Amino acid sequence: MLDDNKKIKSALLSVFYKDGLDEIVQYLSSKGVKIYSTGGTLSFIEQLGVSAHSVETLTGYPSILGGRVKTLHPKVFGGILARRDNPDDIRQLEQYEIPEVDLVVVDLYPFEETAASNASEAEVIEKIDIGGISLIRAAAKNCRDVAIVASRRQYAELLSVLRKNDGGTTAADRRRLAAQAFDVSSHYDSAIFSYFNRSERIPSFKQSVQGAMPLRYGENPHQKATFYGSFGDMFEQLHGKEISYNNLLDIDAAVRLIREFDEPTFAILKHNNACGAASRPTLLQAWTAALAGDPVSAFGGVLACNRELDKATAEEVNKLFCEVVIAPAYSADSLTILKQKKNRIILAAKTFELPAAQSRTLLNGVAAQDQDTAVETEKDMTPATDKKPDAEQVKDLIFANKLVKHSKSNAIVLAKDRQLIAGGVGQTSRVDALRQAIEKAATFGFSLQGAVMASDAFFPFPDCVEIAHKAGIVAVVQPGGSVNDQKSIDYCNANGVAMVTTGVRHFKH
């Protein structure tokens, strides 16, 4: 049976970050706890007017190798790892004059921060903590008897525990703190491995993400869901209900899409696909054109724009029921208007970088790949036909190609004047995707005369360009690469359709 409340009689404190440590030190001192410490932490404690003992006086050895070796000694680790209910362990402590240590408070050198900076490799490697990580593992392993705090984020929790238990810790406290400590140490080691594996490419997948946000529910209400990451680093939620799993998928898709555009642009997404999108001189004009593309699918959608959302635009947006609105900023008036719907999620997007790689669980493992960061411009579009697209058509082809890149395959996008006229997405046949897009355009009263077409992959047969031409399409962008490319090119040449190829496929599943 574990002793449910062990009083702290001695503690080892050795930390990089001192903020918030003073209250812990003062409390331990008030309870008569014997404190051992090192270097800068020892100086900090003494400046508080609290008596502490240097680790060097305990071990009989100074800090050596420029501080690389300070606590790595049996007199330190013996006092942490000794099992208090094991007579042999206690006898050896007495034999070698090793004091018991009941509490260890350490944190680790800022390896991740240093690696993310422009520091040299030598500077990064110097931030690989050795003594600290060893102390964490030792104290966590012996959590039956020892409490461990491995991060400054736990200082407040430790102080609360000590006050609640009159200077002691319960078995449940120590086990919880140990679990948190192993979370810290495993994350730290994963970061170090990832740093070295950038060049080594060892075939091992390791990813550690700290921070969790409970989601309203999963893909369906009966499924539980959690987002692991720092949502607050990317967005400030200004209003609305708790975010769901599906909301998050659409938010991710919306952010990736809207980042492709420099000019004022509005996009409306549903189930990760754009059902409306337009670029215009003003945000209000962009919104009006985007909504016109498919006002039916826009109901309950996720909206994203790349300019501050103003009052006039907010008044129009507010007429639509939508789940989420994303903008880099909002005018005071626009927020007042948008907040009229109590459940509407309003997100202010911060400046942040997306990961360079993506991964997903598949079967009994994980598949990882580079993000599709390819962005085709006019110089990447090689004319394949006798007729070349004119300047306006090129702008539309670039616009359509950005949209089809972010649409579920098989995908076809029809666009004109930087407006999404219609899209066919998620179809098992490219012809079906095209027919879906043509039918949708007709449903909402759009003429395809003079419009352009973008395809996420090559045309295996010339049927798509023939159907598109007969519907009014005048220019086409596609990756190319089919053994039947020439058949599609021949049809375009015979019928005055301009075609360009990019050499870049944009499948999305």
Q: Where are the alpha helices (DSSP H) in 165-244?
A: 171-200, 231-234
- Cis-peptide, bond into residue 246, ω within 30° of zero: no
Triad 143, 147, 150: Cα angle to 5°: 105
Tally the C-alpha atoms within 13 A of residue 500's C-alpha that lie toward its C-beta.
Answer: 27
Active site residue 70: no
Picking from 229, 240, 422, the residue whose alpha carbon sits closest to that of residue 345 is 240
Site of tokens 């190798």: 65
Q: Active-site residue among 31, 239, 271, 341?
A: 271
Tokens encoding 180: 């948190």
Separation CA 21–CA 46 (nearest Å): 13
Separation CA 497–CA 489 (nearest Å): 9
Q: How far apart are the first and last CA of the chain?
A: 54
Q: Report the relative pairing of strands 301-305 and 322-327 from DSSP bridges.
A: parallel
Active site residue 406: no
Q: Active-site residue among 141, 187, 239, 487?
A: 141
| Per-residue 3-state assignment (H helix, E strand, C coil) for 13-53 | EECCCCCCHHHHHHHHHHCCCEEEECHHHHHHHHHCCCCCE
Longest dimension (CA), the chain: 97
User: Catalytic residue numbers?
Assistant: 141, 271
